């Protein structure tokens, strides 16, 4: 994982991405025991606004030139399947901008804050996200005020109230 994170950081230096944050289950691992996953989800702001129909094209070209194979939507970087996901909505974009700078495996990296991960899970509403969200409420020391601000800003209060009623 150390080498994978170093390579991902190099994409900033190369100008392929502006910044990133680890999200998904690997991002959740930083805060809770999230269960199993097989890939690393990297939410990215690309270097510039692109009118391209294939926004990740430059990353895939870089991967090919550097002998990192792609398998379906993943690029295998130092043995780890990595899925790059452009910030496709304002919630994810803000989550990237406000990510926590952390050291993982001796490498400076960026992980989405738990409150943003929780809001994203509420927004996606998958059953796996509901299960993980319960764990966040049980195991994670998160900022309740920040979570409420995020939920209000992104119109997720209704989803939150339904979730609390059913699962908490």
Question: Looking at the structure, do residues 6 and 74 belong to the same domain, yes or no?
Answer: yes
Residue 162 has a pLDDT of 95
pLDDT at 36: 73
Ranges of the chain whose pLDDT falls below 70: 34, 48-53
pLDDT of 34: 62
pLDDT score of 51 = 55
Round to whole Å and give the CA distance between 99 and 111.
Answer: 5
Residue 34's domain spans which residues? 2-112
DSSP for residue 71: E
Residues 6+ apart with CB under 8 A from 41: 22, 23, 24, 25, 26, 27, 83, 85
Q: Which of 112, 135, 157 is the last residue of a domain?
A: 112
CB-based burial of residue 86 (10 Å sphere; 0-12 exposed, 13-18 middle, 19+ buried)? middle
> Measuring CA to CA, which residue among 84, 106, 100 is closest to residue 11?
84
Choose among 83, 77, 105, 65: nearest CA to 22. 83
- CA 117 from chain centre, in angstroms, equals 8
Q: Are residues 86 and 127 in the same domain?
A: no
**Facing residues of 21 across strands?**
43
Same domain, 72 and 149: no
Give the chain's domain count: 2
Q: Do 99 and 105 meet the contact criterion of CB atoms below 8 Å apart?
A: no
Greatest extent of the chain over all pairs of C-alpha atoms, in Å = 51
pLDDT of residue 37: 77
């Amino acid at each position: 994982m150390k080498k994978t994170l170093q390579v991902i950081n190099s994409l900033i230096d190369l100008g392929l991405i502006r910044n990133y944050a680890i999200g998904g289950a690997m991002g959740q691992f930083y805060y809770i025991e999230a269960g199993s996953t097989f890939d690393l989800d990297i939410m990215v702001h690309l270097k510039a606004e692109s009118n391209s129909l294939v926004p990740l094209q430059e990353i895939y070209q870089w991967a090919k030139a550097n002998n990192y194979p792609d398998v379906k939507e993943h690029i295998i970087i130092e043995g780890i399947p990595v899925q790059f996901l452009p910030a496709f909505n304002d919630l994810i974009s803000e989550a990237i901008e406000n990510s926590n700078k952390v050291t993982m495996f001796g490498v400076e990296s960026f992980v989405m804050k738990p409150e943003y991960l929780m809001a994203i899970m509420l927004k996606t509403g998958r059953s796996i996200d509901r299960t993980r969200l319960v764990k966040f409420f049980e195991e994670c020391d998160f900022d309740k005020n920040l979570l409420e601000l995020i939920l209000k800003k992104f119109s997720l209060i209704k989803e939150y109230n339904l979730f609390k009623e059913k699962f908490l």
